[in-house]
Structure 1
Amino acid sequence: MNTAIRASFQGIFEEELMVAIEEVAQIKTFEAGAILIDFGATIRAIPLLLSGVIKIMREDIDQGELLLYYLEKGDSCAVSMDCCMGQKISSIRARADSTTTVAFIPTYYLDEWMGKYKSWRNFILSSYSNRFNELLGALDSVAFLPMEERILNYLREKQKVAESNVLQVTHQEIANDLNSSRVVVSRLLKSLEKQGYLLLQRNNIQINNVL
């Protein structure tokens, strides 16, 4: 019995499916910054997140990166599922945002379990729905929000997944995730600090309750 899998998915998957997952899953732990899935890679397994946080990035036309969404405990990546079912190469990069443990399920079981286990089918459909809504939010943010508001939304989401008011993040990392420049991000962070939203410290940002 794998306690990590059960702690993350108990109540989501039926017992028979839980046993099946324990039999075929390959569990790996990644340090912060490690790349789990890269652009152009062939995806051979579906990730089920047991602990930690994963950032899902999209490559732009200038080969920069744009943050699409975060994966947390109990999540999976709908984009990687789509690549598996369509036998397409990866269009995303998945990077560990903290020390992260993942159970990888061979793609062979994706379709087989859809017809065999109701809880797996519901989980896959729910993952698609949740990630689609997050993608729409990312698109709206890029298309309609000023950069200062995008930074605030980014910090709110970062605060949520980190479960901490102190974020270990650099100005350059924020710029990379939002496909902006460090100079612009630093200027806007200083403006937000003056407005009382946050406190800038070396290599981290302390979020105030007003955020």
Structure 2
Amino acid sequence: MNHVIREAYGAVFEDALIEELIEISTIYDFEEGDKLIEIGEYIKKMPLLLHGAIKIMREDKDEGELLLYFIEKGDTCAFTLICSLGEKRSEIRAIAETSGSLAMVPVSKMEEWMGKYRSWRNFVLNSYNNRLSEMLVAVDNLAFMKMDDRLLSHLQEKAKINNSTIINNTHQEIAYELNTSRVVISRLLKSFENDGLIRLNRKNIELLHSEK
């Protein structure tokens, strides 16, 4: 556990903070598809992502879902920070995009470290800023980008997150993430294949080119 925490956060936090993290953190391993945070849950501990990738989803009033952003190694989730510190119920759903592990930090330590460690304070503030920027991108994509551009951008992001051109998601799963219908996604994917951008295989999608 020690080396995993140091590898993920050693360049960000002071040695004293790393030692505290090693001492008080609970390590939680997860697999692709695991639901890590559910809407309506109280969050007692803040997760620090040691490796892997997690997608953060928002649910609308009609029970649809929308992908807000991904978090990767060395990240945390701004929504989780807000809910855990304010003792509020979660307004997001976190689902594992890949297998990985988390270091779970008690809320009491989060508040203590804000005054004790400059690196922690900077980390929390930067996390808020980064997630807000990603949220604005998600809003802009939803408001201004056509669905075909959103879909291609989404496939590129998944390829980057997974470090692979093979995307192991069904058309229905992608439709959920983009808050649209499977029929629309299937039609656009077929169009992408005809344009030579992707290859549709039986169980996955292969990204061939990144530009339309």
Counterpart Cα distance in 1 of 2:41 and 2:210: 41
Superposed displacement of residue 203, structure 1: 2.1
What is residue 82 of structure 1 aligned with on the other side? 82
What is residue 63 of structure 1 aligned with on the other side? 63
TM-score by length of 1: 0.97
Tell me the amino acid that sits aligned with residue 15 of structure 1.
Answer: D
Give yes or no for the alignment of 1:208 onto 2:184.
no
Write the deviation string for residues 102-151 of structure 1: whole angstroms up to 9, x where unpaired.
10101111111010001001110111111000000101111111110110
Counterpart Cα distance in 2 of 1:75 and 1:202: 34
Q: Secondary structure at the match of 2:150?
A: helix
Counterpart Cα distance in 1 of 2:210 and 2:120: 39
What is residue 167 of structure 1 aligned with on the other side? 167
Q: Within 5 A, what are the aligned runs for 1:121-160?
A: 121-160=121-160
Give yes or no for the alignment of 1:98 onto 2:121.
no
What is residue 116 of structure 1 aligned with on the other side? 116
What is residue 72 of structure 2 aligned with on the other side? 72
Q: Is the 8 A contact 2:66 2:177 kept in 1?
A: yes
Superposed displacement of residue 202, structure 1: 1.5
Counterpart Cα distance in 2 of 1:64 and 1:210: 28
Counterpart Cα distance in 2 of 1:210 and 1:25: 40
What is residue 185 of structure 1 aligned with on the other side? 185
Tell me the amino acid that sits aligned with residue 99 of structure 1.
Answer: S
Counterpart Cα distance in 2 of 1:203 and 1:60: 29
Tell me the amino acid that sits aligned with residue 106 of structure 1.
Answer: P
Q: Is the 8 A contact 2:196 2:209 kept in 1?
A: no
Counterpart Cα distance in 1 of 2:209 and 2:149: 16
Give yes or no for the alignment of 1:50 onto 2:15.
no
* Residues 1:91 and 1:159: Cα distance change in structure 2 (over 3 Å): same
Counterpart Cα distance in 2 of 1:119 and 1:167: 36
Superposed displacement of residue 197, structure 1: 1.0
TM-score by length of 2: 0.97
Stretches of 4+ moved more than 6 A in 1? Answer: none
Q: Is the 8 A contact 2:47 2:76 kept in 1?
A: yes
Superposed displacement of residue 209, structure 1: 3.2
Superposed displacement of residue 56, structure 1: 0.4
Q: What is the alpha-carbon root mean square deviation over aligned residues?
A: 1.0
Write the deviation string for residues 28-76 of structure 1: whole angstroms up to 9, x where unpaired.
1111111111000000111100111101000111112110000111110
Structure 2 residue ranges without an equivalent (≥5)? none
Give yes or no for the alignment of 1:36 onto 2:36.
yes
Fraction of identical pairs, as percent: 50
Q: Is the 8 A contact 1:196 1:210 kept in 2?
A: no
What is residue 107 of structure 1 aligned with on the other side? 107
Tell me the amino acid that sits aligned with residue 14 of structure 2.
Answer: E
Q: Secondary structure at the match of 1:155?
A: helix
What is residue 22 of structure 1 aligned with on the other side? 22
